[in-house]
Amino acid sequence: MGTKDNRRSDELSRRDFIKTSTAVSLAALGSGASRVFASGSGKIRIGLIGCGGRGTGAMEDCAKGVKDVELVAMGDLFKDRMRDSGDKLRQVLGDRFKATRDTIFVGFDAYKKVIASDVDMIIHATPPHWRGQHIKAAIEAGKHVFMEKPAGVDPIGIRSLIETSELARQKGLAIVAGTQRRHQKHYIEIMKRVRDGAIGEIKSAYAYWCGGDMKGYWKWYEPSEYSNEMEGQCRNWPWYVWTSGDHYVEQHVHNLDIMKWALGANPVKALGMGGRAVRKEGNIWDHFAVEYEYANGVRVTSMARQINGCSDRVSEFLIGTKGTCYTDETNGWIEGENAYKCEGNNANPYVLEHIDLIKSIQDGKGLNEGKRVAESTMAGILGRMSAYTGRELKWDWVMKASKLDLTPPKYEFGDLPVRPVAVPGKTQLI
C-alpha cells in the first residue's frame, strides 16, 4: 500500500542503519547520549496495530503533537480497514508515512509482524479483547506502547496486563493508555486539589456515562457485509462481550478511572444491575447501575446507558466534608470552603497523552500507566460481572480467583456461536 517513493525512502533508511539499530536503539534511552532509535536517527518509528477509526485517529494525534515520529508498520485483521487507514494517514503524515507493502500486514498474526518490524513503539488500538496478549508480546520485544482503553475484557486478561506492566517497569519501557483525562489540564488541576483535601474527606461519589446508541459512531455491519460469524463479531466488536467487554467496561472505564484517581483506591465490592431495554444487536446490555463500596465506607454510584432519546450525562461528582467537586470532558470546578474553577487553555488531551508518552521515552523515564488502567478496567469488569450474575461480588475474588476467560476456541474465520445474553440470577458466576 506504500507509494513507490515511500518504498525507496524506507529501503535507503534500512540499508543505512540496520546494522547498528539493535545495539543503539534502547541503550541510548538510559544514558545521557543523544536519542538514537531503531532507524539510527532521532525519530521514533511507530507500528500501528489496529487500523480502524480509533487507531487511525491515535496515529494522527501522535503526529500532531510530536514532529519526530514516523509510521513504518501497520497491522489489522481486515484489508479494507487497512486500506482506508493507509489512505488517510498517507495524506496526514506526508513524508512521515514510511509504511510499505513489506511492512503492512493483515490477519490474526499481523500484530506479531508489526512488533517484529524495525519499530521503537507501537500504537495499539484493536478491540479490547486482544490487549493483554498483544501488549505482552510488544513489551517482551522491547517496544514502548500506547494502548487504547480499556485494558481487557475479563480477569484473565487483566492479570496478564498487570504482569506485563511490571515487566515494562523493569525494562524501563513506557505504557501510556487512552484514558486521556489523566493528561487534561482541568482534570489534573482539580484532582490535585481533591487529593490535597480541598473538599475534605470524600463521603460519596457519582460516575456517569449515559449517552446514545453508538451505532451513530461505530458502523454496524450487516450479514451481507461479512462471510462468517467470527468475521461478523470482529467487525461489530462494540456489541459483543468477548470483543468489547460491554459498553460498561469499554466506555465507562473513563469515569471509573476518575473515581480511582480521586479516591486513590480500588473498590472492595460491587452490586450491579441492568439489562437490554431496546438493544437488538450483539449480546451486550444497554443500561447498567452499579454501587461500589470502598474500604473507608465510601459509596460510589455508577450509571451507564446507550439508548437514544434519553437525557445524556457524562461526568463525575464527588461529595466531601468541606465541599463538592464536578468534572466532565470540558469543564470542572470545586464548590465549598476551597472553591476553584480551572480557567484558561484546555489543550486537546488526545494529543497531550502522546506528547507526554514521547517525552518520557526521549527522557528515558518510561511513563508507565499500565497497572493503573488495568485496575480501573477491572473495576468495570467487577461491576459488569455483578450485574450479569445478579450477585454482590468482592474485588479480591474477581482479581485473584475468577477464572472467567472470554477467549474464543480459536482465532480463525468461521463459525462462532454468539454467547447468550446475560440473565441475572441465571448467568453462571465463573
Domain tally, the chain: 2
Write down the pLDDT at residue 9.
32
- Domain annotation covers residue 358: no
Write down the pLDDT at residue 18.
28
Asked if 115 and 229 sit in the same domain, the reply is no
Write down the pLDDT at residue 344.
77
pLDDT tier, 345 (very low <50, low <70, confident <90, very high otherwise): confident
Asked if 157 and 222 sit in the same domain, the reply is no
Asked if 208 and 248 sit in the same domain, the reply is yes
49: closest CA among 77, 29, 68, 11? Answer: 77
- Domain annotation covers residue 123: yes
Instruction: Indicate whether 165 pLDDT > 60.
Output: yes
Phi, psi of 75 (to 5 degrees): -145, 140
Q: How many CB atoms lie within 10 A of CB 295?
A: 12
The pTM (predicted TM-score) of the whole model is: 0.91
The larger pLDDT score, comparing residue 182 to residue 215, is at 182
pLDDT tens-place string over residues 352-363: 999 999 999 999
Q: Is the dihedral of CA 55, 61, 67, 68 positive or negative?
A: negative
Is residue 413 helix, strand or coil? coil
pLDDT tens-place string over residues 101-118: 999 999 999 999 999 999
* CATH number of the domain bearing residue 129: 3.40.50.720
Mean pLDDT over 160-189 rounds to 97
CA atoms of 309 and 21, how far apart (whole Å):
55
Asked if 319 and 233 sit in the same domain, the reply is yes
Asked if 171 and 205 sit in the same domain, the reply is no
pLDDT tens-place string over residues 193-230: 999 999 999 999 999 999 999 998 899 999 999 999 99
Asked if 333 and 226 sit in the same domain, the reply is yes
Complete DSSP assignment for 183-199: G-HHHHHHHHHHHTTTT
- Domain annotation covers residue 425: no
Asked if 10 and 82 sit in the same domain, the reply is yes
H/E stretch holding 320: strand 313-320
Domain final residue pick, 125, 160, 180: 180
Asked if 119 and 29 sit in the same domain, the reply is yes
- Domain annotation covers residue 412: no
Domain final residue pick, 180, 207, 233: 180
430: closest CA among 373, 384, 372? Answer: 384
Write down the pLDDT at residue 314.
98
Segments forming the whole domain that contains residue 120? 4-180
pLDDT tens-place string over residues 18-72: 232 323 333 333 333 345 676 666 899 999 999 999 999 999 999 999 999 999 9
Asked if 173 and 186 sit in the same domain, the reply is no
Instruction: Indicate whether 423 pLDDT > 80.
Output: yes
- Domain annotation covers residue 414: no
